[in-house]
Amino acid sequence: MAFHSSSPSCSDSSSVTCRSSIQQYGPENHPNLSPTGHLLVAVFLGVIGSLGFFNNLLVLILFCQYKALRSPINLLLMNISLSDLMVCILGTPFSFAASTQGRWLIGETGCIWYGFINTLFGTVSLVSLAVLSYERYCTMLRSTEADLTNYKKAWLGILVSWIYSLVWTLPPLFGWSKYGPEGPGTTCSVNWHSHDANNISYIICLFIFCLALPFAVIVYCYGRLLFAVKQVSGVNKGNSRAREQRVLVMVIVMVVCFLLCWLPYGVMALVATFGKPGIISPSASIIPSVLAKSSTVYNPIIYIFLNKQFYRCFTALIHCNKDALVSSNKGSSKTTKIILTVRKLPDTNFTVNASSTPPTSSVAKNEANNADNKTHNGNTKPAKTLVAHYTI
């Protein structure tokens, strides 16, 4: 959509919305943010951009500085931090500058570029979060301990996240919908306001495959993780109860922050696409956009700085120590292996054995050999084995 301008000026600068003589998205005389509104948005974008830049840059520095952090699961975290850092470098400064001036500053071509870059990196971050949850889910259900030296799956997950994101963010550059001004005209994104079939079909696909699907994967995988922890807690009391509570808090925080950052933006886009023209005011549309950009601040805090191993390395960096005091250089944090084995006895009674301590390889082999011998002798018959690895 082309840029438009209107001549009337604001009669009351203290109001949140008014009419201005700046470039706007939509028809002429469309209400725009007041100077006070633009200033508030600029302040929020400045804080988000600064915190997101330093948080994600610090994560990448820690990863490069300390070998203890270089594991496959942390490689996926680095991909998230890299995409968030790119948003803070290539996206947020332009919307911040536009908000300080009350208008878009780099023209239509710059608007298209900004819309594509932000949509691409935002989608990479969302898909990477889903890939990360799936990797943790697969590790949890694996019958053997994870190979922490095998980076192939991690690199494959990163490659898939970028290719998948490009598949869904390139079409507007080639005619399936388009990128244009958004809200008060100080940011750019997908054209949510066009009601033609070409645009609506793209918005629906983008919502399903780049928001709803990643969220479903995250909820399913972490839900299964929590369910596995509950199973073990039901057998082995004591420390397992505290562990279950920590995992529950982790899952709730991840899901709530994901919804807080992205659900308002998705709902706003659907309402703008299927609702009446002008139903979303500029002051209402800018809030979900700012919340979505705030994910660049939340992600490193939730997924990384709450990680004990990253925290130890961060402390070591503050004290200028080259070697961090970590309990293990394998894995992203303390990893507990939980084995829940159900064996069926000849008299149809069941016994359940649970272990919540990290077994050594020799102990694991002996247990496997003993189980096989008992099976061959007819004393017991293995009915179910659940092996859960999870990070706390």
Calculate what percentage of the chain has a pLDDT beyond 90.
33
Q: Which positions ≥6 away from 209 have C-beta within 8 Å? A: 168
Residue found by looking up tokens 């399936």 in the block: 176
| 70 φ/ψ sector (left φ>0, alpha ψ -120 to 50, else beta) | beta
Res 210 pLDDT > 80: yes
Rounded (10°) angle between helices 72-90 and 107-141? 160
Fold held by 3-318: Rhopdopsin 7-helix transmembrane proteins (1.20.1070)
Return the minimum-mean-pLDDT range out of 38-52, 117-131, 201-215, 371-385.
Answer: 371-385
CB crowding 79-112: b at 16 or more within 10 Å, else e: bbbbbbbbbbbebbebbbebbbebbbeeebeebb
- Antiparallel, parallel or unpaired: β 17-18 and 179-182: unpaired
Rounded Cα–Cα distance for residues 100 and 103 (Å):
8
> What is the pTM (predicted TM-score) of this model?
0.74
Measured on CA atoms in the order 193, 198, 204, 207, is the torsion positive or negative?
Answer: negative
| pLDDT at res. 328 | 43
Rounded Cα–Cα distance for residues 343 and 29 (Å):
74
Q: Average pLDDT in the 211-236 region?
A: 81
The CA angle 92-10-28, to the nearest 5 degrees, is 75
DSSP-derived 3-state class of residue 151: coil
Rounded Cα–Cα distance for residues 162 and 141 (Å):
26
Q: Average pLDDT in the 98-118 region?
A: 93
Q: Average pLDDT in the 333-359 region?
A: 43
Domain spans of the chain?
A: 3-318, 335-391
Q: What are phi and psi of 353, to 5 degrees?
A: -115, 130
